[in-house]
Structure 1
């Protein structure tokens, strides 16, 4: 059960605070009951008997009760708020730590915007479960019990009249809470999709504008918003459905009490003090009774939110380290693929029995048509994914037998789409190696041909970056990505089409930076333009997930009927010549008219 799990995980850590809050809530309950109980003395002694000596004692006790009630209310409110805020922070940290432990495959299946939206909506459910539980039992339930005791002691017959209305309310609440459970989950899912759609739209606003997608995006989001609104309205109707029933039952009970008490006072000459004490207790009991009546409904909503958080926390990492996994120590950094096969899910194999060696300290380029499996091959080296069969070895050590952390510490990675994080340029470079000095960071930037444009920024290395470095050009972002790889100072460098999205001028600058980054390292590089890898020590040609050729540029070019030669011919197709009568050198004919 979710509630039991939440209490088991957090109850002990906040036990002292919850005890303090419970004591404060007990004082609130006791002072509230005292206010109802003393009403008999107020009416009988002050107004019926006109006993002046007792009035001062009654006034002092009422003042003391209000002081205690105010101080206790403040104490419990602050204590529970602090615990609630800490619970939210704790689960946010747990979630981010757990998400970091999950494999890349999880994020390939889950939409990141929706995951973020779901977390922001649902994490407060843990806090609400804990706070609803403590306030409902320590304040509302105790207050209600204390007031019921006052009511029964003042007049048992009147109390019986009130209790007749309880069963119908309980039956109605049980029915409503069952229907609310599914509606709440649907609402959370729809709201997370709405927030996710908005986030994706903001991130891809240039594409939206370029393809005039505004109306399409607006229409699609409008459908989601409308569905979310309908679910929220349904939840509101279900949640508030208890109010008319509660009010009607309360009205009948209070009307009956007044009629009965008035009859006794008129015809039985009974002092009204007990009745006033009873009616005060009844009126004061209404709020805690109403809150308790809605407890199951409110708790159900909080539990649904909490359950969705635990669905993420219970997601098992798919690539845990083996028991007894060792630490990878790299000497020469030679990489060997030995009969490696891989597929995503249960689909068609992406890699099929791939075997080749990337020699230590040399550059091995991987080329092939789109869909050949090049990027998948690169992603196996840092164990973003694990092969379905075969082995991947570094210096003769199977990487499946070492910890992922020690493996990835030996690798620097430059992706096709460089991703920069919130913070300054210096922060983004230091992520690669937190212990790097400012001098090392600046030297890496110089080698990456990035130092000059960084200094040209408003605050130099301390310039805050926009979302994913939006205030930099594509070439600048890529050079910072290369500088980050250099700061890593790892013996293995992975380059996944690092220049394919750049214009010629930016590509030239990035290519120069890459030449610095590749020196004295074992490099695996995927190339979009074959001209950028002509000087590679070895070129592996892939097609349909298999290695079809391997060798140097000269060897592969010599094989005229090979795939590499055909790819090279395609990449070197000359530009179309101007048609006759167009462009430079065309004949200019005069007007014959």
Structure 2
């Protein structure tokens, strides 16, 4: 990934990242964090109280043998454990809910930010890498906040308050604890069963969130061509909200063990105190084993261990947070001009005026390209692989902006209009028919959210897709596998064409729409394309000679330049031209034309398609 100077400034040391996280989120959760801090302070205070009360226990119960005070001591111990359990539950659930909301917030920020980035970002970054960064590192923000609160409000206070003493074991006193263990184990087993199903549901929801994000990244050209940004954001928001709710339920189930175990422990310890005290008073037994047993439960080992590992845990969390900020700090490179207006397409004429483009500095993919695609007519772009055909088409919906020259629609420079309004006027069918999570109907409606079911079905009929859709288990409501894996290549492409027809836009872009299909599927898709191309301004890249021959105009490209323009008849008559050589080669019966003289085949080279597919 290419990173700007702002990342080095904002995403740096541990302290800087912590400050940034607190600055961005602390104010929104201050009440919840204050509540959690109070609960943590109560946990520390109740733990310290147990160490403090040992003096009264030893002096009053065993040395002075004051029976009247025993019940007060036992009651106060039980109360301390109940308070500790309730406070532990309160702080754990509060911090978990804040943490889950932080994860949901940053997931939403990430998907919204990814929608704002240009196609070039996804051309430079592997989609799986982006998905991994989101799924594996987004919890780092939550961990930084929670570690900071728990370490200072609980562990440090507890460690300061506690006095560590020597511990010895007493089998008789331990037996009292073992008596109450079976009920606790049964209760924990019951909770674990409920937790297992909740966890499974949570994993499913989170995987759907990840899948939706990954599909969006992989199909970014379709998303932008059909201005699906808001739809994707709303749809993903619902999944994220559901996953957040499931995570909150897991937190409640998990932390339900705290009040249970603490209350039972309070009963056990109170019983131990009563048993040992009366044994000492009436049996003249030394209280050493009892004292050791009580203090063993109050050792400060756990808070000390957590504090010792605080920096390690914070470093790990900050590394995760830093990788999230690397994405969030990526600045969009292709925004609308300050005075950009919505485009008005009247006829749909597309004109290229001395267009030059390269993906990298010094790289030339298009060099001085000039031609006009007449309104309401079909213009075919042909040429060998690497000629710049797909790159040229990608400039029309502004997936990229030309380095030099202009692209005009009805005389208006598209650089001066908003991308959203521009893409609303364009339907796009790519080489790869990207489909998204949801039903067939939902995938078709992405092109135009307000489209009626009748309009969707009419578009499917025009795309020769209606019959096979009805043959699916739930018809138009059939849920699709990942990228439509439960459909054939030809079926996916026909749904892609139907989606373009639902768009009902005056401009249609076809980028090798039949390139990856077998002959039977290609024939079906070709019929659908012929219907889709009627009464629209069409720019089509194709290797099928019959498609090209029926085009109103043919633009022949080679090495990023336009070398011939004309009709099929005119270009065929020029026997020395590149198009005529291709035609002769095709008529000779070969499926593949040589790169230096032919039309190209199913796929463009990296130079021709870079940035158009993530």
Shift of 1:349: 0.4
Q: Does 1:483 align with 2:518?
A: no
Matches within 5 A, 1:398-413: 398-413=413-428
Contact 1:413 1:493 in 2 (8 A): yes
Question: Larger relative CO (CA 8 A, sep 6+): 1 or 2?
Answer: 2
Of the three residues 94, 98, 101, the one matched with 2:116 is 101
Counterpart check, 1:145 vs 2:141: no
Contact 2:143 2:317 in 1 (8 A): yes
Aligned pairs for 1:387-426 (under 5 A) are 387-426=402-441
Q: Secondary structure at the match of 2:299?
A: helix
Distance 1:509 1:574 in 2: 22
What TM-score, normalized by structure 2, do the two folds share?
A: 0.72
Name the SS of the counterpart of 2:57 in structure 1: helix
Please name the residue that 1:510 is paired with.
Answer: 525
CA distance in 2, matches of 1:425, 1:563: 42
Q: CA RMSD in A?
A: 2.6
- The whole-number CA distance in structure 2 between the counterparts of 1:361 and 1:83 is 55
Residue 366 of structure 1: how far off its partner (Å): 0.5
2:112 is equivalent to residue 63 of structure 1:
no
- 1:248-259 equivalences under 5 Å are none
User: Is the counterpart of residue 79 in structure 1 residue 91 in structure 2?
Assistant: no
Q: Secondary structure at the match of 2:386?
A: coil
Q: Indicate conservation of the 8 Å contact 2:457/2:466, yes or no.
A: yes
- Tell me if 1:33 matches 2:33: no
Which among 550, 574, 577 is matched to residue 562 of structure 1? Answer: 577
The 5 A counterparts of 1:44-63 are 44-63=59-78
Q: What are the superposed Cα offsets for residues 67-124 of structure 1, whole Å, 9 maximum, x if unpaired?
A: 1111111111111111111111111111111112111111111111122122211111
CA distance in 2 between counterparts of 1:333 and 1:281 reads: 82
Alignment partners' CA distance in 2, 1:317 and 1:122: 22
Structure 1: tracts of 5 or more residues without a match = 152-194, 204-270, 577-593
CA distance in structure 1 between the aligned counterparts of 2:301 and 2:526, rounded to whole angstroms: 75
Task: Give the secondary-structure state (helix, strand or coil) at the position aligned to 1:499.
Answer: coil
* Cross-structure match for 2:450: 435
- The aligned counterpart of 1:492 is 507
SS in 2 for 1:75: helix
Report the counterpart of residue 226 of structure 1 in structure 2.
none
Q: Does 1:533 align with 2:555?
A: no
- Specify which of 538, 544, 554 is matched with residue 523 of structure 1: 538
> How far does residue 286 in structure 1 lie from its aligned partner after superposition?
2.6
1:369 aligns with 2:404: no
For residues 131 and 354 of structure 1, the distance between their equivalents in structure 2, rounded to whole angstroms, comes to 57
Q: Distance in 1 between matches of 2:589 and 2:324?
A: 57
- Look up the SS of the partner of 1:393 in the other structure: strand
Mapped partners of 1:324, 1:5: distance in 2: 33
On the 8 A contact 1:148/1:281 being kept in 2, the answer is no
Q: Does 1:385 align with 2:400?
A: yes
Larger Rg: 1
Cα separation, 1, equivalents of 2:127 and 2:526: 32
Q: CA deviation at 1:22?
A: 1.1
2:144 to 123, 129, 143: 129
Q: CA deviation at 1:283?
A: 5.0
Q: Counterparts of 2:369 and 2:27 in 1: how far apart (Å)?
A: 53
Q: Distance between the aligned counterparts of 2:434 and 2:92, measured in 1?
A: 43
**2:469 is equivalent to residue 454 of structure 1:** yes
Quote how far apart the aligned CAs of 1:3 are: 0.7
What pairs up with 1:326-341 in 2 under 5 angstroms?
A: 326-341=341-356
Paired with 1:432 and 1:460, the residues of 2 have a C-alpha distance of: 19
Among candidates 483, 486, 499, match of residue 471 of structure 1: 486
State how far apart, in whole Å, the 2-side matches of 1:282 and 1:455 are.
Answer: 68
Aligned length: 461
Separation in 2 of the partners of 1:519 and 1:541? 22
| 1:574 pairs with 2:589 | yes
Give secondary structure in 2 for the equivalent of 1:371.
coil
Cα distance change of structure 1 residues 559 and 20 upon mapping to structure 2, 3 Å threshold: same
**Aligned partners of 1:556, 1:117: CA distance in 2, in Å?**
50
2:31 aligns with 16
C-alpha displacement of 1:389: 0.8
Q: What is the deviation of 1:347?
A: 4.6
Query: Who is 2:106 aligned against?
Result: 91
Cα distance, 1:380 vs structure 2: 0.7
The answer as to 2:564 corresponding to 1:549 is yes
Q: Which secondary structure state, in structure 1, belongs to the residue aligned with residue 28 of structure 2?
A: coil
Deviation track 1:552-577 (CA, whole Å, cap 9, x = no partner) reads: 1111111111111111111221379x
Distance 1:452 1:276 in 2: 82
Q: Out of 343, 361, 369, which is 1:354 matched to?
A: 369
Choose the corresponding residue for 1:111, options 122, 126, 130.
126
Assess if the C-alpha contact under 8 Å between 2:440 and 2:477 holds in 1.
Answer: yes
Q: Look up the match of 1:304.
A: 319
SS at match of 2:146: helix
Q: 2:459 aligns with which of 444, 449, 455?
A: 444
SS at match of 1:550: strand
Where do 5+ consecutive residues of structure 2 fail to align? 1-15, 167-209, 219-285, 592-614
CA distance in 1, matches of 2:478, 2:566: 45
Q: Choose 438-447 or 401-410, whichever is displaced more.
A: 401-410
For 1:207, the equivalent position in structure 2 comes to none
2:141, 2:438 → 1: CA distance? 30
Shift of 1:374: 0.3
* TM-score, structure 1 normalization: 0.74
